[in-house]
Structure 1
Amino acid sequence: MMMNLFSIFDPSTNILNLSLNWLSTFLGILFLPMIFWFLPSRLSLFWNKIFMTLHKEFKMLIGNQSFNGTTFMFISLFTLILFNNFLGLFPYIFTSTSHMTITLSLALPLWLSFMLYGWINNTKYMFAHLVPQGTPPILMPFMVLIETISNVIRPGTLAVRLSANMIAGHLLLTLLGNTGNAMSNMMISILIITQLLLLILETAVAIIQSYVFTILSTLYSSEII
C-alpha cells in the first residue's frame, strides 16, 4: 500500500545504497532498434527529416547572426527530453523528467550561459531590453523591476512546467489504476479504455513538452544577440 501518492516518483532502485534510477536518463540510446545504425535506413531518414525541420525552425528563431551549430545544441536537448519523457511511459522505468533535479539541471545552466554571454558582450542591449520601447519615464523603474523578476524566474518556470506536466499525467494514471480492484467487470472495461486514451494523451504531452522546453530556450537565447 502506498503511504504517499508521490512515492511513485521516488527513487527506489539501489545497489549498495547507490540510487540507480537516474541511469534511466541515459537508457534512451538502448531503445533504438539495430536498423537505426545501418545507413541509410527508413528510421534514420525519418529522424533526419525531423532534425532538419527543427533546425530550420530554430534557425529562424535565433536568426542568421547566431553561431554555426547552435541549433544542434537545442536539437540534442529536444532529443534528450523526448527520450526521457517517453521512457517514463513504460512500466517500472523511472521518469527522470518528473523531478526538479533533472529539469532545473537542464534549464539553469542554459539560462546562466545566456545571461553571462549577453551581459558580457551586449551590455547596452541587455540594459535597453529592461525597458520596453515607448515606456513613460514615470513607469521606467517599475518596468525594470518587473522585467528583472520575469528574467530571473525563467529557469524556474521552464523546470516547473516540464516536471509538473510529467507528474500530472502519471498521477492521474496511478489514481485511476488503483481504483480497479473495487470495480465491476463492465467498469473495468471502461477504465481500461480510459487508461488507453490517457496514455495516448501522455504520449502527446511527452512530445509537446519537450518541444515547448526547447523552443522557449531558443527564444531566450535569441533575446541576448
Structure 2
Amino acid sequence: MMANLFSSFDPSTSFFMSLNWISSLIGLFIIPVSFWLIPSRLNMLWIKIIMTLHNEFKTLINNNNIKGSTLIFISLFSFILFNNFLGLFPYIFTSTSHLILSLALALPLWLSFMIYGWINNTTHMLAHLVPQGTPPILMPFMVCIETISNIIRPGTLAVRLSANMIAGHLLMTLLGNTGPSLQLSLISLLIVVQIALLVLESAVSIIQSYVFAVLSTLYSSEVN
C-alpha cells in the first residue's frame, strides 16, 4: 500500500520519453496571452507582487552597495511558486517535492554565500560563530553548535520545501483513494474536504516559496 502511495511521486512516464521534469517549464504555455500585454491587469498584479518582494528583500539584505541583489531571490520565489502551483493540477509532476530539485536550489546558494563570506569578510564570519554575551566557558560549544547549524542550512531548506509539498499531496491522494469505497452520501463530504485541502495546499505553495526565498535572503545578509 505504501509503495503504491508513494509511487505517485516517481519521476517516470511511459509516453515517448520522460516528460516529468519538463513540467517545470510547461506552465509557460498556459500563461494567458494578456499577461504579455503591457499594462494588462495580470501583468500589473505580478509587477506589484515583485516590487513588494523587492522592497522587503532589500530591507533584509541591508546592503545598498550590491545592486540588483534582490533579483535572484525574486526569481527563486517565482520559480518555486510556479512549480508548486503546477503540482496541484492532475497528472502534472510536482518537481519541488523531490530533494534533487530543492537541494539543487539551496546548496549552490548556500555554498556561494559561504565562499563569499569567508573570503571577503573572514572576521565577520568568525564573529558569527560566537553570539554576543556568550560566557567564555561556553564559547567552544557555541562554535560547534553554530558550525553545525550553518552546515545543515541547505539541507533544512530543501527538506522543508519537499516535505511540505509531499505531505499535502499524500493526504489528498489518501482521501482520493477512499472515494470508490465510500457510500454515495459520503462522497459529497469527501469532495468538500478535497476542495478545502486544495485551497490549503494553494496557501502552502505560496508560503513555502516565500519562506524559501526569505531564508535565502537572510543567509545572504549574514555574510555582508
Q: With structure 1 as the length reference, what TM-score do the two structures score?
A: 0.96
Partners of 1:28 and 1:114 lie apart in 2 by: 30
* Aligned AA (2:38): L
SS at match of 1:21: coil
Matches within 5 A, 1:184-195: 184-195=183-194
CA distance in 2 between partners of 1:3 and 1:221 (Å): 39
Residue aligning to 2:136:
137
Please list the CA deviations of residues 165-221 of structure 1 after superposition, one character each: whole Å capped at 9, or x if unmatched.
000000000000101111111100100000000000000000000000000000000
Tell me the C-alpha RMSD between the 2 structures.
Answer: 1.3
Name the counterpart of 1:25.
24
CA distance in 2, matches of 1:170, 1:33: 26
Within 5 Å, give how 1:1-225 maps onto structure 2. Answer: 3-14=3-14, 18-225=17-224
In the alignment, the residues of structure 2 paired with residue 130 and residue 59 of structure 1 have an alpha-carbon distance, to the nearest angstrom, of 25
Matched residues in 1 for 2:182 and 2:111: separation?
Answer: 51
3-state secondary structure, aligned to 1:19: coil
Deviations 1:113-170 (CA, angstroms, capped at 9, x unpaired): 0000000000010011100111111111000000000000000000000000000000
Between stretches 189-198 and 2-11, larger displacement belongs to: 2-11
TM-superposed deviation, 1:12: 2.1
The residue type paired with residue 197 of structure 1 is A
SS of residue matched to 1:27? helix
Query: 1:204 and 1:163 mapped to 2: Cα distance?
Result: 15
Q: Distance in 1 between matches of 2:68 and 2:3?
A: 48
CA contact (8 A) 1:14 1:20 kept: no
Deviation at 1:28, TM superposition (A): 2.6
- Amino acid paired to 1:180: G
Q: CA deviation at 1:15?
A: 5.5
CA distance in 2, matches of 1:3, 1:161: 22
TM-score by length of 2: 0.97
CA 1:15–1:174 in structure 2 vs 1: closer, same or farther (change >3 Å)? Answer: closer
Q: Percent identity?
A: 71
How far apart are the structure 2 equivalents of 1:207 and 1:19? 27
**Local SS of the residue matching 1:93:** coil
**CA deviation map 1:89-113 (0-9, x unaligned):** 0000000000000000000000000
Unaligned stretches of 5+ in structure 2? none
Is the partner of 2:132 in helix, strand or coil? coil
Gaps of 5+ in 1: none
Superposition deviation, residue 20 in structure 1? 2.3
**Which deviates more from structure 2 when the two are superposed, residues 189-198 or residues 61-70?**
61-70
Aligned pair count reads 224
Letter in structure 2 aligned against 1:111: W
Using the TM superposition, give the Cα deviation of residue 39 of structure 1 relative to its aligned residue in structure 2, in angstroms.
1.0
Which stretch has the larger CA shift, 98-107 or 24-33?
24-33
Give the Cα–Cα distance (whole angstroms) in 2 for the partners of residues 81 and 14 of structure 1.
26
